[in-house]
Structure 1
Amino acid sequence: MTSTESQGPTPSPASSRKSSIAGAVGNFIEWFDYSIYGFMAVTISAVFFDKSNPTAALLATFGVFALPVITRPLGGIVFARFGDRIGRKRTLAIVLILMSLSSASIGMIPSYDSIGVLAPVLLVIARIVQGFSAGGEYAGGAALIAESAPASRRGYLVSWMPSSTGMGLLAGSVFSFALAQALPPEQLADWGWRIGFLLALPLGLIGLYIRLRLEETVAFQQLVEDDNVASSPLRETIREHGRNVLRVTGIALGQTVCYYVVLVYTPTFLRTELDYTPSDSLITTSIAIAAYVLTIPLAGNISDRIGRKPLMFIGSIGMLVIIFPTFFLIPTSGLALIAVLQVAVGGIALGLYTGPLVCTWVELFPTRVRYSGVSLGFNLAVIASVSSPFILTWLIDVTGSDLMPAVYVFIAVAISLATLFTLPETAPAKGAVDLITPTDAATSTGDVSPGARA
């Protein structure tokens, strides 16, 4: 394969927009419900666990929050096989149904005071299914958008996938803030926290309608017509593209850990360690998330012109430089400065890194194993990041140091920065082979994709 290889039919602007919305909508729903759980962690701990030991209850809540560590990689493997065998569209529809039902079920579980230990057991089951379905969402949505985007706009259009993550998180943050403002603590604990989870049902129906109206991507349809669909996508991915799977894990680690710590865990940190009110802790994070959402598509757009790696280098260095001052100053700062610090590291630096990140993942793999390659690499990184709230709550309790979140983020981002030096530039604008082609799979060999060899 050469850099002049034909790209095949160019997707229409309308098709690209529809695919971008369809890919992002499920991700939005997933992260809206995930964020509700994270932002309502203190309340949920009192609802589902024994309140006699608040720290133990909070640890148990974050332990349940981290359950996708077990089920998400498994779901990623299962759904990636479907996605590379039967197509992106049908697989993503199944994923959305499971995710919506499991999320809504959390809002229906009675409290610990009502049914005792059965309450946390049901919560665990719901989180297991939720994590399993989430394992297939991100990689499939990214592949769907990328394969429906023109090469010159791919970085920008795919960037709406991680931006929708921020949108879901922002919506969850604003929703949680509004509930905390509108309801007294007793009503919030009694029934108010359930509303966000129950909204998963109508949101899921809307998302399912959008996804079912899509056409399968041209790239995957061509594989089917050529009888070139991978018979064992997982085995082929590991055997021929294992190095790029590890690259995806490496560059994803810093992003996912910083995301969870700065934009998901920090509201709990402000409440439990620094005694801020729920509304105060949520408003600073909401401002940072808004900056993150706006920065991502800007960075994705720029990456289409100057390449993916420069933006990721700038973002990772920014996170390394800012993270320690952020958590050093937060305990002695007012809300205004806390918001500025969160915006700097979690909004701008993280956003610059994230903008071209997901597009880089999909460009490292050929069409026939793209879903599997991205899913494996990303879900390995999620193992470390989803566990962050649980690990940090425990570390702070044991060490008494408020700098533990900074240490955790610094190590993860340093690993990502080191991985970046091994990464090829994948943007077509910088001379890389364009991998989103109907025929790319037929000539793919070795553990480095053709784009990586360019």
Structure 2
Amino acid sequence: MKRAVVATAVGNATEWFDFGIYSYLAVTIGQVFFPEMHGPLQLVYTFATFAVAFIVRPFGGMFFGMLGDRLGRKKILSITLVMMALATLSIGLIPSYASIGATAPILLLIARMVQGFSTGGEYSGAMTFVAESTPDKRRGFLASGLEVGTLTGFIAGSGIVTLLSAILGPENMLAWGWRIPFFIAGPIGLIGLYLRNHLEETPAFEALEKANKKNEPGSIKDIFVYHWRSLLIAFIIVFFYNVVDYMILSYMPSHLTAVLGYGQTRGLLLILVVMLIMIPIVLTVGYVSDRIGNLRIIRGGLLGLIFLSIPAFLFIGSGHAWLVFLGLIILAICLACLLGTMPSLLPSLFFTEVRYGALAITYNISASLFGGTTPLIVAWLINVTGNRMVPAYYLVATCLIGVVATYFVKETAGRPLRGSPPAVEEKHEIQEILEEPAEALWWQEEKNKIDKKTEGSDG
């Protein structure tokens, strides 16, 4: 259990290190690959390249997700990690626009699309793996370790960029220093691959294989026909989750630098400190969710953003260091309410035989439409309107939708995953389960309805 959490989190940290350094170097990358553009418009082009990669992400989700339900979670997670590391390494090798002209941004786009394709199977697979490898009563806390891996990857990316910016200075960073973080991705990927190759398959998938020797998971058509309600709920959840996530972790470094005029090193250092503070908060949120449920915490985070996003962005735009920091902390605490709960909530929406595929499909379609485009849309709206408060309004509107969506979700904290028997850590928990067998198989009625529809369709 612990090995599964650590190895998956380390692998996830590798993936988000790769994505993170692109976000933190967005301003520099814009100058290297789009030198003919200037100011906010240059940032729009840079984030357009960031967003275009998300076009292929749903295809990666479908491809790797269906394979994950057929071949197992472990194998697919190793493949996606290698692809991501190689694609990131290649970005550091691409010549600048000044050297090869328009070919440079084209090569950058291809590398980003490979990153997007591999990520399509990575995060949903990581959530599935951790959720299926942990006991029911500790799933929230242990699954939150996955987001600690995400934050660690972002911290490593921002830390390296900040350190290099301070040591090399703007001119050297623009000339060649920006390539160094991308070169680091190769060795980190090898470490993650080693850890993942030494994992065992999840107990839930092994049980499914034993029960169904042919191991024939549902097709994409079956997922959409028989699990459409769960798909729709997950789609909306991923929508508000990713908008908040990408707004705060991916867009904010560039907002501080390109829109508000902060020095690059100063802006990145602020984000770095905020993410370090978020790690214990995320773990605490995961721990508490096992006791009071995921939904209460998620609603609390969303309501916090609805009422506090505008004050937070006013603080951030004030120019006073402590007020800027306070604004970022407000946003970070609200985001932590989502980071600490989503890795345990999202996998619980689907049954074991379709979990990886269904989660990969819905997560990546929603993330591509709304998460990956968030930096681009916000940068474009600021450029068009000239209003620096656009990010706050965007967050408020998104979270209003999110609050409504949570009332259509069943609470699953501390309960078995759909399609799986109870998973316990201590022997004394077995007696509690025997006393309430109906609660242990709370998902049975829902499963029976799906089976009847399936049999009727086959007939």
TM-score by length of 1: 0.90
What amino acid is aligned across from residue 193 of structure 1 in structure 2? W
Q: Following TM superposition, by how much is the alpha carbon of 1:42 offset from its aligned partner in structure 2, in angstroms?
A: 0.9
Q: Following TM superposition, by how much is the alpha carbon of 1:445 offset from its aligned partner in structure 2, in angstroms?
A: 4.3
SS of the residue 1:177 aligns to: helix
- Corresponding residue of 2:216: 230
Say which of 51, 65, 69 aligns to 2:54.
69
Q: Following TM superposition, by how much is the alpha carbon of 1:233 offset from its aligned partner in structure 2, in angstroms?
A: 3.9
Assess, with a 3 A threshold, how the Cα gap between structure 1 residues 167 and 433 changes in structure 2: closer, same or farther. closer
What amino acid is aligned across from residue 399 of structure 1 in structure 2? T
Say which of 164, 188, 204 aligns to 1:219.
204
- Corresponding residue of 2:159: 174
Assess, with a 3 A threshold, how the Cα gap between structure 1 residues 340 and 133 changes in structure 2: closer, same or farther. same
1:145 and 2:130 aligned:
yes
Number of residues of Structure 1 aligned to a counterpart in Structure 2: 430
Assess, with a 3 A threshold, how the Cα gap between structure 1 residues 242 and 52 changes in structure 2: closer, same or farther. closer
1:243 and 2:225 aligned:
no
What amino acid is aligned across from residue 38 of structure 1 in structure 2? S
2-structure distance, mates of 1:304, 1:147: 16
2-structure distance, mates of 1:249, 1:292: 25
Assess, with a 3 A threshold, how the Cα gap between structure 1 residues 204 and 254 changes in structure 2: closer, same or farther. same
Q: Following TM superposition, by how much is the alpha carbon of 1:250 offset from its aligned partner in structure 2, in angstroms?
A: 1.4
2-structure distance, mates of 1:351, 1:304: 15
**1:75-103 superposed Cα distances (whole Å, 9 cap, x missing partner):** 11110001001000111111111111101
RMSD over equivalenced CA pairs, Å: 2.1
2-structure distance, mates of 1:426, 1:30: 28
- Corresponding residue of 1:93: 78
Structural mapping, 1:184-333, within 5 Å:
184-226=169-211, 227=213, 229-333=215-319
- Corresponding residue of 2:456: none
1-structure distance, mates of 2:248, 2:66: 33
**1:117-143 superposed Cα distances (whole Å, 9 cap, x missing partner):** 111010000000000000100111111
What amino acid is aligned across from residue 415 of structure 1 in structure 2? I
1:386 and 2:375 aligned:
no
2-structure distance, mates of 1:48, 1:150: 48
- Corresponding residue of 1:165: 150
User: More displaced, 72-81 or 380-389?
Assistant: 380-389
1-structure distance, mates of 2:278, 2:63: 31
Q: Following TM superposition, by how much is the alpha carbon of 1:189 offset from its aligned partner in structure 2, in angstroms?
A: 0.9
CA contact (8 A) 2:217 2:353 kept: no
2-structure distance, mates of 1:54, 1:310: 41
CA contact (8 A) 2:208 2:353 kept: yes
Assess, with a 3 A threshold, how the Cα gap between structure 1 residues 78 and 324 changes in structure 2: closer, same or farther. same
TM-score by length of 2: 0.89
- Corresponding residue of 1:49: 34
Q: Which runs of 5+ in 2 are unaligned?
A: 424-440, 452-459
CA contact (8 A) 2:139 2:414 kept: no
**1:246-299 superposed Cα distances (whole Å, 9 cap, x missing partner):** 211212222211121122211211111221100111122112222322211111
Assess, with a 3 A threshold, how the Cα gap between structure 1 residues 447 and 246 changes in structure 2: closer, same or farther. farther
User: More displaced, 219-228 or 356-365?
Assistant: 219-228
SS of the residue 1:179 aligns to: helix
What percent of counterpart residues are identical?
Answer: 37
**1:336-391 superposed Cα distances (whole Å, 9 cap, x missing partner):** 21111111112x11102321122111111111111122212221331211111111
- Corresponding residue of 1:3: none
Q: Following TM superposition, by how much is the alpha carbon of 1:204 offset from its aligned partner in structure 2, in angstroms?
A: 0.7
Assess, with a 3 A threshold, how the Cα gap between structure 1 residues 318 and 115 changes in structure 2: closer, same or farther. same
Q: Following TM superposition, by how much is the alpha carbon of 1:329 offset from its aligned partner in structure 2, in angstroms?
A: 2.9
1:82 and 2:78 aligned:
no
Assess, with a 3 A threshold, how the Cα gap between structure 1 residues 273 and 234 changes in structure 2: closer, same or farther. same
What amino acid is aligned across from residue 199 of structure 1 in structure 2? I
- Corresponding residue of 1:437: 421
Q: Which runs of 5+ in 1 are unaligned?
A: 1-15, 449-454
2-structure distance, mates of 1:433, 1:279: 44
